Amino acid sequence: MKKTLFMLLAGVCLAGQPLMAQQPPKAYTADNGDGTFKNPFLWGDWPDPDVIRVGEYFYFVSTSMHYVPGSPILRSKDLVNWEMAGYALDRYNDDPKFDMQGGTMYLNGSWANTIRHHNGNFYVGFCTPDGWGADSGRFSMCVAKDVKGPWKRTIFPQYLYDPGLFFDDNGRVYVVHGSGTLYLTELNADALSVKQPFDTIPIWRGRIRRPEGSTAPYPAYGMEGSHMYKINGYYYITNPAGGTEGWQVCLRSKNITGPYESKVIYQDESSYPNNGLHQGGMVQLQNGDWWFIIMQDRGPIGRVPHLLPVNWVDGWPILGENGKGYASGKKPDLGKNFPVVVPATSDEFNHVKLGLQWQWNHNPDNSKWSLKERKGHLRLKASFAEDLKTARNTLTQRVQGPASEGIAEIDASGLKPGNVAGFGIFEFPYAYIAIRKEAGSNTLIMVNDGKVIDSIPQFAPSKIWIKAHATDQQFLATFSYSINGRDFQQFGNTLKMDLGLVWTANRFALFNFSTTKEGVDGYMDVNWFHFTGENPAPARP
């Protein structure tokens, strides 16, 4: 029944068109279906990538900041087609503010993840700054036999910023870290503590000059985002420089403590002027080839990953086509083809566990949501909050480019006075359509950046379909609703998506909060969430 309704809804995305007049757009995929692929290989927010290969699978970890579960891990057999594999962190127990008790932890959580596999274990490390640009915080190491978990997290007393974990072939373990000045810190053999006495060695000081032709505003930059490798007797450290307009640098030395020489290995802004590709990691295929996953900032849609071949020139890993470009090309040579796969998006809520595509804004209150109380539905119970920014149990997944659309079927018959329950797009600013429960009646509201833009008092239907559509064209999002699941009415105004001060991309968001304490435990049931995205014509090499 849910699938049938989804097909009907997809046929009415354009006003005035008959049902099933056009097929729903396919989800974005980088696989062109002919042995080639296009970049970005994921058109969504997967920042600060690091990648490894274990057997036949590649694993890719990303930053997630305050979203829970944290440190998302994807897997692939060909570096082009990816699916969610798990998360390295179930929740944050560091501070009550992760539970939105006494404040919030926006800009906190999981930053600049590093992933490695050693002696049968997966290791994911990340830093948690005390705030944006902070020079203090925590470093965490998560360890598991399987990426699906269970994972065990160890929090270090030392702060290792933008960490790159490295297992040397002599049995010693290190983290290279820092911003501007790069440091090397040795860990104990289990990688769960710093080797004593604590001796952090500076291995790189100084700034990298802006390459010719770059739009970056300053003449020279420090580096961060380190990942370390040992190849043919050299220690290599890859680093970004230049921020959003940036480029990728590589350091190398015969000695792990240096001295290191440097080289710009990629500098190109042509695929999304004026934003350069910067920060990521490289991995070796079974046939010996090397490839590099590197991100590009595409504003409110997110920091999207690109896949570039590595060509070794005079012992340096030069990315793309002589350090430039690579909009498309042949897929990595794995000896056979693999089916097209994309990370999950749509959800019928028919399972007892939440799909891996979903993350909560901060730690959830697990007593306030359920996939069991009403079969085939997600139930969100209200908690007291002044607005969406401080609401517990806001459930999110990535908005995607170049355009994407989410539709949710919502039953609001379980709301209590004071509840605000609905669906929209979350960041700072945010916007949504919701039913606001009042004594004796409901009001349908459209809210943009905390302000009620439009409303319909005495709104009788308790079942409603809410749609949000987002595009990278000027980063605009629009909202509409239906009372019959077929005919959608535009409502409110347009959201100009932004990054605010949070630095995570915009997300589709389901929520239910109460502005009165009397309304707690009122509930909203979500029958399904359906996602559609654009898949542009393939770029050809």
Asked if 38 and 340 count as a contact pair (C-beta separation under 8 A), the reply is: no
Q: Helix (H) and strand (E) counts for the chain?
A: 1, 41
* Residue 258 zone, left/alpha/beta (φ > 0; ψ -120 to 50; rest): left
What are the DSSP E strand ranges found in 135-200? 137-144, 152-156, 164-167, 173-177, 182-187
pLDDT tens for each residue of the chain, 541 residues long: 444 333 333 333 333 332 222 333 368 999 999 999 999 999 999 999 999 999 999 999 999 999 999 999 999 999 999 999 999 999 999 999 999 999 999 999 999 999 999 999 999 999 999 876 668 899 999 999 999 999 999 999 999 999 999 999 999 999 999 999 999 999 999 999 999 999 999 999 989 999 988 999 999 999 999 999 999 999 999 999 999 999 999 999 999 999 999 999 999 999 999 999 999 999 999 999 999 999 999 999 999 999 999 999 999 999 999 999 999 999 999 999 999 999 999 999 999 999 999 999 999 999 999 999 999 999 999 999 999 999 999 999 999 999 999 999 999 999 999 999 999 999 999 999 999 999 989 999 999 999 999 999 999 999 999 999 999 999 999 999 999 999 999 999 999 999 887 889 999 999 999 999 999 999 999 999 999 998 876 666 6
Of 45, 48, 78, 162, which one is the catalytic site residue?
48
Asked if 136 and 83 count as a contact pair (C-beta separation under 8 A), the reply is: no
Q: Which two tokens mark 364?
A: 């959830």
Pairing of strands 523-533, 403-411: antiparallel
Nearest Cα residue to 49 out of 123, 106, 109, 115? 115
Q: Which two tokens mark 117?
A: 């596999």
> Residues 349, 350, 352, 354: is their CA dihedral positive or negative?
negative
d(CA 529, CA 206): 50
Q: How far, in Å, are 50, 84, 116, 166, 272 from residue 163 at the CA level? A: 11, 23, 12, 10, 28
Domains, the chain, with CATH or none: 31-330 (2.115.10.20), 359-533 (2.60.120.200)
One-letter amino acid for residue 51 of the chain: V
Identify any residues that bridge with 229 across adjacent strands, giving them in sequence order: 236
Of 31, 50, 224, 268, which one is the catalytic site residue?
224
* 461 CB-side CA count, 13 A: 15
Look up 373 and say whether it is catalytic: no
Residue 539 has what DSSP assignment?
P
Q: Which two tokens mark 513?
A: 């909060």
Residues across the chain: 541
* Residue 453 zone, left/alpha/beta (φ > 0; ψ -120 to 50; rest): alpha
Look up 48 and say whether it is catalytic: yes
